[in-house]
A = this chain, B = another copy of it.
Amino acid sequence: MKNKKAVVLLSGGIDSSTTLYLALEKGYACFCLIFDYGQKHKKEIQCAKKIAKRAKCKYEIIRFKLPWKGTSLLDKKLTIPKNRTTQQIKKEIPSTYVPARNTIFLSFALSFAEAINAEVIFNGANAIDYSGYPDCRPEYFSALEKVSSLGTKRGIEGKSIKFLTPLIKMTKPKIIKTGIKLKVPYQLTWSCYQGGKKPCQKCDSCLLRTKGFKELGITDPLLST
Interfacial residues, chain A to chain B (CB-CB below 8 A): 60, 62-70, 93, 97-104, 106-108, 110-116, 134-135, 137, 139-140, 143-144, 146-147, 149-153, 155-156
Contacts and interface: CB of A to CB of B under 8 A. Distances in A.
Nearest to A101: B111
Contacts of A156: 134
Given A60-B67, A100-B107, A103-B110, 5 more contacts: A69-B115, A99-B113, A100-B114, A100-B151, A146-B146
18 contacts: A66-B112, A66-B115, A68-B116, A97-B153, A99-B110, A99-B111, A100-B107, A101-B111, A103-B107, A103-B151, A104-B104, A134-B150, A134-B152, A143-B146, A143-B150, A143-B151, A146-B146, A147-B147
A116 B67 CA distance: 11
A32 B101 CA distance: 19
A117 to B, nearest CB: 10
